[in-house]
Homo-oligomer: A and B are copies of this chain.
Amino acid sequence: MASERSGGGDPVRTLALLWRTPPEPKPVGRKPKVSVDQIVTAAIAVADREGLGAMSMARVAQELTVGTMSLYTHVPGKGELIDLMADTVLQERALSSDGTWRERVKHYADRTRAVYQAHPWMRDVSMVRPPLGPGLMDGQEFVLAALADSGLEPRLVTVAHVAIEGFVHGAAASEVDDQQLAEKTGESGDSWWGARQVFWDDYFDVERYPTMTTLWNAGAYEIEGALADHVRTSFDYGLEKLLDGIEGGMR
């Protein structure tokens, strides 16, 4: 399977689940052993610990000491479950609207980044056909409000929004990728690059890559802390410059 997808099923059913529309109480019939919330919570727990790849229906059911097929009574399928998981963790952002529009966008970026840190499997969830639940929508509103306050004209607000959203999710995903792989393979990013020392020894061609060579000699690659910090710094820089550009384009 490629990236885990979602949003495939019946929109009406999925939306009802996302917004937890109370499914009119059933006075008759067997009592449920599990609830949607329990399933989503268990699924998130499994994915947090072992990655989205390990989050199989069987595994989640096991966690709840329930038969695999019981889950299908409460959730249409795996895709929809992932939708629910994603929207749930996005709600953890708890965005507070203080400060200038720039500060708020940065706040949004930080909170979103924190979600990815806490739930690295978010990297594997496509946000192109996103779950239209409260977690996602609240975030959208927050960024749009900040951009609207910036004085950008409406048309540009929507354009800038897509660019920022893309940057933030992309950055958060990249940043987290490293840790995710480290967990999965039991090998840290630094050690992975260390093992590829062979590359610099045996394959790097100084004539083919003059700029890299120059930069190397200029000490531009002497990193202070861990590699992950460097990546993070770079994305902070990128967001800053993106906002600079947007701000500059207004005048």
A interface residues (Cβ-Cβ under 8 A, vs B): 1-5, 7-8, 11-12, 15, 19, 51-53, 121, 123-124, 126-129, 132, 137-138, 140-141, 144-145, 148, 154-155, 157-164, 166-167, 169-171, 173-174, 177-178, 180-181, 184-185, 189, 192, 195-196, 198-199, 202-203, 208-212, 214-215, 218-221, 230-231, 233-235, 237-238, 240-246, 248-249
Q: Is the beta-carbon distance between A166 and B234 smaller than 8 angstroms?
A: yes
Q: Is the beta-carbon distance between A1 and B167 smaller than 8 angstroms?
A: no
Q: Is the beta-carbon distance between B234 and A245 smaller than 8 angstroms?
A: no
Q: Is the beta-carbon distance between B53 and A209 smaller than 8 angstroms?
A: no
Contacts of A210 in B (CB 8 A): 141, 145
Q: Is the beta-carbon distance between A241 and B242 smaller than 8 angstroms?
A: yes
This protein's copies in its complex: 2
Contacts of A242 in B (CB 8 A): 238, 241-242, 245
Given A181-B129, A212-B144, decide whether A238 and B166 contact each other with a Cβ distance below 8 A: yes
Contacts of A52 in B (CB 8 A): 2
Q: Is the beta-carbon distance between A198 and B51 smaller than 8 angstroms?
A: no
Cβ of A77 to closest chain B Cβ, rounded Å:
13
Chain B residue with Cβ nearest A205: B137
Q: Is the beta-carbon distance between A174 and B170 smaller than 8 angstroms?
A: yes
Cβ of A113 to closest chain B Cβ, rounded Å:
13
Contacts of A128 in B (CB 8 A): 174, 177-178, 181, 189
Partner of A15, one of B129, B148, B199: B199
Given A141-B209, A170-B166, A245-B245, decide whether A124 and B159 contact each other with a Cβ distance below 8 A: no
Contacts of A141 in B (CB 8 A): 208-212
Partner of A5, one of B157, B169, B181, B230: B181
Q: Is the beta-carbon distance between B144 and A211 smaller than 8 angstroms?
A: yes
